[in-house]
């Protein structure tokens, strides 16, 4: 998401990230708020208007990364490379 302050997040970009990294839309919105990328108002809008109405994220992309024991290690490795660790 770039780590910069933003006015809004789009469902399309969150679906793309979900499919690449295997992180739910809900978790991404929460992280964006924690990193102060989005305002409290936009965070609450996402939860009230989108996430609470679709808790299973039906129609919001698929997890492309297979659910395996090594999945978490692969994701941690990708995150570490992005952060330069």
- Identify the pLDDT of residue 10: 95
CB atoms < 10 A from the CB of 48, how many? 10
User: The tokens of 84 are what?
Assistant: 């330069």
pLDDT for 66: 64
Q: Kindly give, in sequence order, each residue whose CB lies less than 8 Å from that of residue 60, ignoring residues fewer than 6 positions away.
A: 11, 14, 15, 18, 25, 54
Q: What are phi and psi of 66, to 5 degrees?
A: -60, 145
* Mean pLDDT per 10-residue interval, the chain, length 85 residues: 87 94 93 95 97 95 73 75 63
Both tokens of residue 54? 């679709």
What is the structure's pLDDT at 75? 74
Q: What is the percent of the chain where pLDDT is above 90?
A: 64
Q: Residue 22 CB: number of other CB atoms within 10 A?
A: 19
State the pLDDT at residue 25: 96
């Amino acid at each position: 998401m770039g780590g910069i302050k933003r006015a809004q997040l789009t469902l399309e970009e969150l679906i793309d990230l979900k499919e690449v990294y295997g992180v739910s839309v809900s978790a991404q919105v929460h992280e964006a708020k924690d990193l102060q990328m989005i305002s409290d108002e936009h965070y609450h809008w996402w939860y009230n208007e989108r996430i609470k109405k679709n808790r299973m994220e039906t129609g919001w992309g698929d997890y492309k990364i297979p659910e395996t024991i090594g999945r978490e290690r692969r994701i941690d490795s990708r995150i570490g490379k992005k952060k330069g660790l």
